[in-house]
Amino acid sequence: MIVKTLPTGPLEVNCYIVGCETTGKAVVIDPGGDVEKILALVASLELEIAWVINTHGHFDHIGGNHQLLTETGAELMIHAADRPLLERAGEHAAAFGLTTENSPAPDRELVDGDILNLGELKFQVIHTPGHSPGGVCLYINDVVFVGDTLFSGSIGRTDLPGGDHHLLIQNIREKLMVLPQSTQVCPGHGPMTTIGREKQYNPFLV
């Protein structure tokens, strides 16, 4: 499995490129912008983008969707509960004094427990609402891509429309903290961490 991280967009969202070494197929998780940089990195890895997955629909995580999908023909996936956010990304960005493109509609709506097969890779979809109603995490090979659900030493904000602090904490405890302690946590912003480290030191969870 190939995993590369690239900060993208005005809020420096961690965009992840995950590729299958056998087939050369790849998924781009949360393209926040800077699509030319994403495409250049993918090309340097000799990968082909098959999917774009949004862990949730907030504008900073989907800003590159339109251009990336147009240039690659990839399939877009997001949870149904966050689908409405895709067509209002520009409006939401403007509220923060920023600009971004609205996203095309998804080709597939993700469901908790889905197994996504890409070449020899198998991603498990874990629905973790709280930061947003349709937030999902993607678990594969002792790595979990968590979007804005969990951060190193922190958790996702819950003061935006659709946020729910109690629900977020519940989902982190019941769906993420049960993963092996060695699991590497790849968040939507900031440094990587592990489940074991967050279980022991995260002030929102201890």
- The pLDDT tens digits of the residues spanning 136-151 come to 999 999 999 999 999 9
Would you list the domain boundaries of the chain? 2-201
- The pLDDT tens digits of the residues spanning 112-127 come to 999 999 999 999 999 9
Tokens of 158: 């819950």
Angle at which helices 35-44 and 65-72 pack, to 10 degrees? 40
Question: Is 50:75 a contact under the CB 8 Å cutoff?
Answer: yes
- The pLDDT tens digits of the residues spanning 95-116 come to 999 999 999 999 999 999 999 9
The CATH-assigned architecture of domain 2-201 is 4-Layer Sandwich (3.60)
Tell me how far apart the alpha carbons of residues 197 and 195 are, in angstroms, rounded to a whole number: 6
Tokens of 87: 């067509």
**59, pLDDT greater than 90:** yes
Tokens of 10: 């005005």
**50, pLDDT greater than 90:** yes
CA dihedral 87, 93, 95, 99 (to 10 degrees): -110
Percentage of the chain modeled with pLDDT above 70: 100
- Supply the DSSP string of 52-119, one letter for each residue: EE-SS--HHHHTTHHHHHHHH-PEEEEEGGGHHHHTTHHHHHHTTT---PPPPPPSEEE-TT-EEEET
Residue with tokens 């809020």: 11
Q: What distances in angstroms separate CA 63 from CA 12, 54, 67, one per listed residue?
A: 11, 10, 9
pLDDT at position 127 is 98
pLDDT at position 206 is 85
pTM of the entire predicted model: 0.97
CB atoms inside a 10 Å sphere around CB 181 = 12
Average per-residue pLDDT for the chain: 97
